[in-house]
Chains A and B, each alone.
Chain A
Amino acid sequence: MSVHLKQDQPDNRNVLDTMVQGVIGAALPRPEGLMKVTGTASYAAEYDAEGLLEGVLVTVPIVCGEITMIDEASVLGMPGVVAVLSDERMTGRPAQGMAGEAPFQPAREVRYWGQPVALVVATTFEQARDAAKHLKLQWRVEDAPLDPKTAETEENESTRVGDLAHAMADAAHTVDVVITTEGHASAAMEPHAALAQWDGKALTVHASLQMLKFNRAELADSLNLDESQVRLLSPYVGGGFGSKLGVSQEVVAASLAAIQLGRPVRVVMSRQQVFQTIMRRSETHQRIRLAADAEGKLTGFGHEAQVSNLPGEDFAEPVLQSSQFLYAGDNRLLKLDLARIHRMTAGSVRAPGEAVGVQTVEQAMDMLAEKIGIDPVELRLRNIPEKHPAKDKPFSSRKLAECLRKGAKAFGWEPRPRTPRHTREGEWWIGTGMASAARVHSVVEAKARVILRPDATAVVETDMTDIGTGSYAILGQVAGEMLGLRPDDIDVRLGDTDLPPGSGSGGSFGAASCGSAVFLACDGLRKELAKRLDIASEDLTLKDGVARWDGGEKALNEILGSEVIDCVGHFEPGASTEDVTVSSYGAFFAEVAVNRWTGETRVRRMTGAFGIGRVLNARTARSQCLGGMTWCIGNALTESLHFDPVDGHLANCDLAEYHVPVHRDVPDLEVLLIEERDAAASPIQAKGVGELGLCGGAGAIANAIYDACGARVLSYPMTPDKVMAAMPKV
């Protein structure tokens, strides 16, 4: 049995709301929670296999050029060394998200500093690690541009409506500001890892990957195998944040080694290799122009940005994504330029685009509110457009105003014009700031199988991953609500390409896409049950394993006997999201303390209010928002990739020197989930939640720094040196 839906129309039926099990949206604990807290959930590198060999990637200290010789003999005599691989099929960089084909090959063509070019395989990890440092390589070096400020650029995207320059000239109030952001790393806690096994015909790889359907195609293409010969397993993934969207170098290398040697091979990247060879978020250089009339209504909106990537890579950090529609302004100029430089591949890092594009706009809005002399919240409220300002498209459900108002209330925001340096506690200036949040919505084709057993238990199967997002929890809850089962009685099986292909985890689309596939499968099962009862499925109520209808009730085992039934749900995005602008929205409020001497900044409290469509699990959704807000703190204050100006290598390639927030950087964070159903977003009326919490919040912190101490810092991250330098003289 299968049910297919290509969603061309908004679905206003809110079917899940008509169910009675009462589990959808509930703040239930994660079903896999006990496994995670007892250390029994196994991640990619944690499997064992008979005769397992250990591989360590060899990287090369040049920016651009070609490996001309790999002296295998230099290490083959070392203790335990089994082989050196430098196969033409080795990949030099990870695949971009949803590429579905091999990333850049061959690895011997070097395009960034630290690129892996070979794999040393030995009996033990200690032997392989040492030998990898001893492998002698020869290379030819080519000159390559390193500096995004001086590199050649190409226009990636532009929108021109009306005449922004004219609007700026005529405006009562204007802001014209340049703000920069530095590169970011995903820095998922689990390093990239793969354990590959080859049985002579088929390859099985335990890997740490986010999007198995695509990864399988990428790996098969890299190896010149048929997809049917490749099985990927990622039931637990120790964080992704974009860094595991595409198949990465260690997966291909481990697979090649397993095939060549006929033995299982494990390759785990060192933390330094993860930093040096996996996707970075591009640094950005952004110019924001705002033109407003005397009442603070925007008449012009300009957002121009420059980002970078390697030659040949299509991805350009989509900085302008939400700027297209977040605020009004008849005269618009939005332009994205891409500089070609030789740093490791730029790709998706949590919330690509908005994670750096909203906070800059929100800083400019704060500056505009100050010029006009109105409450920054009020300025946002006055500029929520009726329709997409560049396209004649209405919005689907949009809770921006509600988030702004409810967030302000919960935070205790004082609705007044802002004047900095109003409050000091000892050495610390105290201030508050706010920002809007926005993140475009998308959904992706997904399939899931749901198996219903007569004993009122069910199994949900899809190759979807749970990278900490809560997939195990929410897919069980969708099925539980639809089938009238307790989530405890539903076994959710994920992360295996033998299961129906889901969407994968990325772009905040996993829950809505796979949740819809599960929803459709359950709808099919409900119809089957109704058919057997000879009633319309709309008349069927399922709760706690019992079917009820007007005039009767039957337990599932009475309906099914001993039969197990199953249905595959197949969800495809259609026109429902094409005719309207679909996005999730929110608002951030932050209070900071800034040290008057050193510019050190501490976030003291933060509130986020978010409209994400239907909430599938209030607990895991809140946790996603907490995560996003924590990233806002790192984004605002500490996170920055530092590239050497001479040879382009990443200098701070570890967790001691790339500063992700620690416990003490993060105060209690308040999350408000605003009730919403978005009919256009998905058949379950859900939108994305994984990234929204990171889209703009750094701007709230930046604005709070200004409110606290008068330092208008125009460069992220706002480290003590920058804040100190921008502070008015004491």
Chain B
Amino acid sequence: MAISINGQEYPLPEDPRTSLLDFLRREARLTGTKKGCDHGQCGACTVMVGGLRINSCLSLAITHEGDEITTIEGLGSLTSPGAMQEAFVAHDGFQCGYCTPGQICSATAMLQEIAAGWPSDATQDLTATPSLTDEEIRERMSGNLCRCGAYPNIVAAIRDVAGAEA
């Protein structure tokens, strides 16, 4: 009866009402994952479950028994930041910083989705391999609101990381 977060096991919560988000922030003390709306409307709580990004606010922790969760803390640290984290700093891809962990988790998963050939609403030809145009990045990142308006810089950071990986 445990959830694995960034490779570490945590016992399931007693109260089945506990959202995965509250579980991360409270029980696991991993406050990098943010609560912006608690209703799947902002993306600040984005984490990866088995490599897929989800809104952790709309998922009950108890349903994640045995799942592997990756949060922002799992993507890098102050002493060893990940490439996407460094790119966000380099391009000023944030201002207040509150949506940022969600943006970075989302961007990380998004590059994997593109690599897997998944189409998006911005994909012209559904049967072709999608390419990483700015329009594709913007559509695929639209589940992460940024009220400070750092969007152009976020796109630049993602472009940068994708270019380095390509």
Contacts and interface: CB of A to CB of B under 8 A. Distances in A.
A37 interface: yes
A42 B31 contact: yes
Given A126-B17, A468-B95, A662 B142 contact: yes
Nearest to A666: B151
A528 B76 CA distance: 44
B68 interface: no
Contacts of B150: 623, 626-627
A629 B149 contact: yes
B86 to A, nearest CB: 8
Interface in A1-39: 29-30, 32-39
A238 B45 CA distance: 14
Nearest to B96: A468
A619 B157 CA distance: 14
A189 B146 contact: yes
A626 B152 contact: yes
A190 B100 CA distance: 11
Interface stretch (B33-41, B111-119, B124-132): B33-41
Contact of A628 (B76, B88, B149): B149
A623 B148 CA distance: 9
Interface in B1-58: 15, 17-18, 22, 25-26, 29-42, 44
B94 A189 contact: no
A663 B120 CA distance: 14
Given A239-B96, A663-B141, A189 B147 contact: yes
Contacts of A660: 145, 147
A40 B78 contact: yes
Contacts of A241: 147
Given A29-B92, A238-B96, A619-B92, A38 B78 contact: yes
Given A46-B31, A189-B34, A666 B89 contact: no
Given A238-B97, A239-B98, A630 B89 contact: no
Nearest to A620: B92
Interface residues on chain A, size class: 35 or more
A401 B139 CA distance: 37
Contacts of B139: 663-664
Interface in A607-648: 619-620, 622-624, 626-631
Interface string B144-166: 11111111111100000000000
Nearest to B85: A37
A190 B34 contact: yes
A180 interface: no
A476 to B, nearest CB: 15
Nearest to B154: A663
Contact of B32 (A29, A40, A48): A40
Interface string B58-96: 000000000000011100111001000110111010111
Nearest to A629: B149
A225 interface: no
A356 B28 CA distance: 44
Given A38-B77, A654-B41, A655-B42, A190 B32 contact: no
A630 B149 contact: yes
Given A33-B89, A239-B147, A663 B95 contact: no
A196 to B, nearest CB: 18
A263 interface: no
B72 A39 contact: yes
B163 to A, nearest CB: 16
A261 interface: no
Interface residues on chain B, size class: 35 or more
Of A29, A268, A469, most B-chain CB atoms within 10 Å: A29
Of A35, A189, A656, A668, most B-chain CB atoms within 10 Å: A189
Secondary structure call for the A interface: loop
Contacts of B147: 186-189, 239, 241, 660
Given A271-B36, A663-B142, A39 B153 contact: no
A188 B148 CA distance: 8
Contacts of B31: 39, 42-43, 46
Interface in A439-483: 467-470
A37 B89 contact: yes
Given A37-B81, A39-B33, A126-B18, A663 B151 contact: yes
B149 A43 contact: no
A720 B82 CA distance: 41
A612 B148 CA distance: 19
A165 interface: no
Contacts of B85: 34, 37-38
B36 A191 contact: yes
A37 B15 contact: no
Contacts of B38: 270-271
Contact of B153 (A32, A470, A626, A656): A626
A667 B139 CA distance: 11
A236 interface: yes
Given A35-B78, A189-B36, A660-B145, A655 B71 contact: no
Nearest to A668: B152
Given A38-B72, A664-B138, A190 B153 contact: no
A315 interface: no
Nearest to B120: A664
Interface of A: 29-30, 32-43, 45-46, 48, 124-126, 130, 186-191, 236-241, 268, 270-271, 467-470, 619-620, 622-624, 626-631, 654-656, 660-664, 666-669
Interface of B: 15, 17-18, 22, 25-26, 29-42, 44, 71-73, 76-78, 81, 85-86, 88-90, 92, 94-101, 104, 122, 134-135, 137-139, 141-155
User: Which 4 pairs, one residue from A and one from B, show the smallest C-beta to C-beta distance?
Assistant: A39-B32, A630-B149, A238-B98, A468-B96
Given A190-B34, A656-B40, 11 more contacts: A35-B97, A36-B97, A37-B72, A37-B89, A45-B35, A188-B147, A189-B96, A239-B95, A620-B95, A624-B95, A664-B138
